[in-house]
Structure 1
Amino acid sequence: MHRRRRGIAAGAGAAAALLLAAGFTGAAEAADRAGGADGKRGAERVRLYTPPANPDARTQIEELVRSGKYRDAAGIARMVTTPQAVWLNGSGDDGRIRQEVAGIVRDAARKRALPVLSLYNVPGRDCSQYSAGGAANTAEYTAWIDEVARGIGTRRALVVLEPDSLALLPSDCGQDDDRGTLTDARYEEIGHAVETLTALPGTTVYLDAGHSNWHSVRSIVPRLVRAGVERTAGFYLNASNYRSDDELAWYGKLVSGCLEHTLGGGDPASCPDQWTDRNDARTWLDAHVTPDPSDQPHFVTDTSRNGRGPWYPETDQYPDPQDWCNPPDRGLGRQPTTRTGDPLHDARLWIKIPGESDGACLRGTEGPEDPARGTVAPPAGQWFPEQALELVRNSVPPLLP
């Protein structure tokens, strides 16, 4: 009997390996078909990089195979073998991050793929919430960025620089003093990263612009300007969030237009925002923005979990709904691609790793359960099997035929 159990486990492991291989083939073929520009304005055909899957995803696949849930297992396999970002953090004083980054970009180059690197180590990140952490101070952070840059070297990389770093400044969450010391430091840290990474010959950098239901255009544009957006390819939207493609595309167009206007000496307060009547906003864009997309900042979006759009809990159901935090019944969004059909929109990416938890998500309650799910969610960044299955089953468009 003991031998039989070992045989079943071995069989599940082999089946999981086959599913992962099949998922990789399908995802890679889809990425090749997508093709497109790599974010640097060119028309080069590009394949996006697929990093190794979370080990707990393989465990889930094996368990699903053992239970005879082969379609779910195939869906998880396809999800984790779709091109997505690599999230990087940690200390910069011992060279380990340099070695890690060098290994990633070298592997991507060998596969003729473009890696997406999400750098997530700025001091005070996430306003000390579920994803708290980061470097201890500015000096440690700049040393870390320098090590990341050494790791990238001359190879190609698309950098999503510090999610929430500009949309969630220390001054936004009551962590700063009256002089704005920590907020000034944040801009110094992002500025150093921009200067260092954009100097690399194969690296494209995008800055944090939150998402379309957060800051107004007039609010986020001055932050992007102060952070040095003119030296980058542009900005990214919706990292780890759920806003719809149409909403993001319109917001991105407005932010891009307002940035061009502001960088040219205009007042961002005169720009239309995402709640302005669209016809009025188009009239303003026609009058103030060049029709040549190559003269405007570009953007990329995170479509990893926005297939069914945002979650709208009843406003009085929870003290703090936290609609961004492991919302139930969401689905994977459109596949990553650098061919979006919009000259300002450089790529749809899976920035957030689908299947990894956003945190405990207590929604203003004492917990320990997430009241929207009735379960205790894993800590931020850990694999969340329940959510992974939801994302696969609810994907729009469908992940599996």
Structure 2
Amino acid sequence: MRRRTAVRALALPLALAAALLTGPPPAGAEAPVSSRGPHESRLYIPKGNPDAYRQAAGLLRDGRYADAAGILAMVRTPQAVWFGDQPPAEVERQTRTVVRDAARKGAVPVLALYNVPGRDCSNYSGGGASTTAEYQEWVDAVARGIGGHAAMVVLEPDSLALLPADCGQDDAQGTRTAARYTEVRYAVDTLGRLARTRVYLDTGHPGWHTVGSLVPRLVRAGVGGATGFFTNASNYRTEADSHWYGTLISACVGYVEDGGAAADCPDQYWPRADAEGWIAEHVTTPASRRKHFVTDTSRNGLGPWTAPPGKYTDAQDWCNPPGRGLGDRPTTATGDPLYDAKLWIKIPGESDGLCLRGTAGPRDPERGTVDPAAGDWFPEQALELVRLAQPPLPTKGLLATVR
């Protein structure tokens, strides 16, 4: 009897691993092709972080079926594929593999490119290309990999919201900041020429820059040649706030392109009625010609975390905040012609880095543990996101699959 139990305990995790790798998406993750509207696209589901599979298998061994199904549902939801640090030949090969796999499945992949020199101000996610020329060679390789396939490109998160000048890494002449604009414009020009590729530029999130301060950066970075921009990447701002921020930025870009000053545009802190009135009166660019946007809803189901007042000198509310949940499922059916998609840009379950919140560490004082390095799997946070998902994850059918 003991032997048969052991065999069953091994078989269940193996069955779960097979379901994770090859099984169908969870019910509700994507609308069936037949039920999609004429402008709705199937978004690509890449293979997940291997440690997510291991966590789900361990939960199943422990008889925690609901949690295992939740991790499975999260992994089997469309999300971005990140590229950065690979040499050109490798990133070309990997990109080509992804876009071809997506094409076979009738889906559109979301590619997050993260290799600009000096990215993340050389902090937790620091790295990237060493020089502008090296970065341009890397972008060329990505473009060759995409070729004529459909793709949505999230171009360099934090590249415009966090310029070298913003973190004291520039010289008096602004050399590195000027190079950053050159690099982003090159990527826009190169990738934007691809017939079926949509390119979106960085805007940070609505709790960071005002509309009037961010739009000049977009314009200088070449947003005119891009599809538009993205907001809330890897952050926790609500869907409503992100949608409104995108709407304001789109209107302001149109206003500036028609000769207006960004400083005159309403920002996210204006009363909504006043902002809508200003746009109606001053923005002559028709909505059909304004820049589009996408948002990251991967972890914003409960909105941002607010630290207890006075507890920390630097709360790092963006860094593995406790008690957050998955947000809206990815979709291109947003009901707004300017709003191209809700996406899971940040891979939910992967750590933001070592969060000390102004303390000496090494433990995260909110969690009592040492947080994994940026990009590594964070099992405790993954379970939080699943359990607190808003709206809840569709796991009913998956429970039958894994039990």
TM-score by length of 1: 0.94
Distance 2:353 2:35 in 1: 32
Structure 2 residue runs of 5 or longer lacking an equivalent are 397-403
Alignment of 1:382-397 (within 5 A): 382-397=376-391
Distance 2:34 2:115 in 1: 34
User: Are residues 73 and 111 of structure 1, via their aligned partners in 2, closer, same or farther at CA, if it must alter by over 3 Å?
Assistant: same
Q: Secondary structure at the match of 2:27?
A: helix
Which string of whole-angstrom CA distances, capped at 9 and with x for unpartnered residues, describes residues 245-304 of structure 1? Answer: 111111111111111000111011111111112221111101112473211111100000
State whether residues 31 and 48 of structure 1, in contact with CA within 8 Å, keep that contact through their aligned partners in structure 2: no
**Partner amino acid for 2:49?**
N
Match among 291, 298, 313 for residue 297 of structure 1: 291
Q: Secondary structure at the match of 2:318?
A: coil
User: Are residues 171 and 9 of structure 1, via their aligned partners in 2, closer, same or farther at CA, if it must alter by over 3 Å?
Assistant: same
**Partner amino acid for 1:13?**
L
Distance 1:313 1:220 in 2: 26
Q: Shift of the alpha carbon at 1:312?
A: 0.4
* Other-structure match for 2:102: 108
User: Are residues 79 and 292 of structure 1, via their aligned partners in 2, closer, same or farther at CA, if it must alter by over 3 Å?
Assistant: same
User: Are residues 210 and 306 of structure 1, via their aligned partners in 2, closer, same or farther at CA, if it must alter by over 3 Å?
Assistant: same
Distance 2:179 2:304 in 1: 33
Distance 2:35 2:374 in 1: 31
State whether residues 92 and 145 of structure 1, in contact with CA within 8 Å, keep that contact through their aligned partners in structure 2: no
User: Are residues 111 and 19 of structure 1, via their aligned partners in 2, closer, same or farther at CA, if it must alter by over 3 Å?
Assistant: closer
State whether residues 322 and 381 of structure 2, in contact with CA within 8 Å, keep that contact through their aligned partners in structure 1: yes
User: Are residues 225 and 33 of structure 1, via their aligned partners in 2, closer, same or farther at CA, if it must alter by over 3 Å?
Assistant: farther
**Partner amino acid for 1:280?**
D
**Partner amino acid for 1:67?**
D
* Other-structure match for 1:330: 324
Distance 2:179 2:297 in 1: 31
Residues 1:51 and 2:46 aligned together = yes
Distance 1:213 1:382 in 2: 26
Distance 1:8 1:104 in 2: 34
User: Are residues 329 and 188 of structure 1, via their aligned partners in 2, closer, same or farther at CA, if it must alter by over 3 Å?
Assistant: same
Q: Shift of the alpha carbon at 1:4?
A: 5.9
Which string of whole-angstrom CA distances, capped at 9 and with x for unpartnered residues, describes residues 188-222 of structure 1? Answer: 10011000000111110000011111000000000
Q: Shift of the alpha carbon at 1:34?
A: 7.9
State whether residues 21 and 47 of structure 2, in contact with CA within 8 Å, keep that contact through their aligned partners in structure 1: no
Q: Secondary structure at the match of 2:72?
A: helix
* Other-structure match for 2:307: 313
Which string of whole-angstrom CA distances, capped at 9 and with x for unpartnered residues, describes residues 322-380 of structure 1? Answer: 10111000000000000101121110000000010000111121211111111111100
Residues 1:243 and 2:243 aligned together = no
Instruction: Please tell me the root mean square deviation across aligned C-alpha atoms, in Å.
Output: 1.8
State whether residues 32 and 47 of structure 1, in contact with CA within 8 Å, keep that contact through their aligned partners in structure 2: yes
Q: Secondary structure at the match of 1:24?
A: coil
Distance 2:184 2:104 in 1: 30
* Other-structure match for 1:126: 120
Match among 220, 233, 255 for residue 249 of structure 2: 255
Distance 1:134 1:185 in 2: 14
Q: How many residue pairs were aligned? A: 394
State whether residues 34 and 339 of structure 1, in contact with CA within 8 Å, keep that contact through their aligned partners in structure 2: no
Structure 1 residue runs of 5 or longer lacking an equivalent are 37-42
* Other-structure match for 1:204: 198
Residues 1:80 and 2:75 aligned together = yes
* Other-structure match for 2:401: none
**Partner amino acid for 1:123?**
P
User: Are residues 181 and 291 of structure 1, via their aligned partners in 2, closer, same or farther at CA, if it must alter by over 3 Å?
Assistant: closer
* Other-structure match for 1:213: 207
**Partner amino acid for 1:354?**
P
Distance 2:94 2:44 in 1: 15
Match among 248, 254, 269 for residue 263 of structure 2: 269
* Other-structure match for 1:39: none
**Partner amino acid for 1:15?**
L
Distance 2:252 2:193 in 1: 26
State whether residues 315 and 321 of structure 1, in contact with CA within 8 Å, keep that contact through their aligned partners in structure 2: no
Identity %: 59
Using the TM superposition, name which of 215-224 and 22-31 deviates more: 22-31
Q: Shift of the alpha carbon at 1:26?
A: 2.5
State whether residues 92 and 141 of structure 1, in contact with CA within 8 Å, keep that contact through their aligned partners in structure 2: no
Distance 2:54 2:301 in 1: 25
Q: Secondary structure at the match of 2:351?
A: coil
Residues 1:356 and 2:341 aligned together = no
Q: Shift of the alpha carbon at 1:27?
A: 5.3
TM-score by length of 2: 0.94
**Partner amino acid for 1:326?**
N
Residues 1:11 and 2:12 aligned together = yes
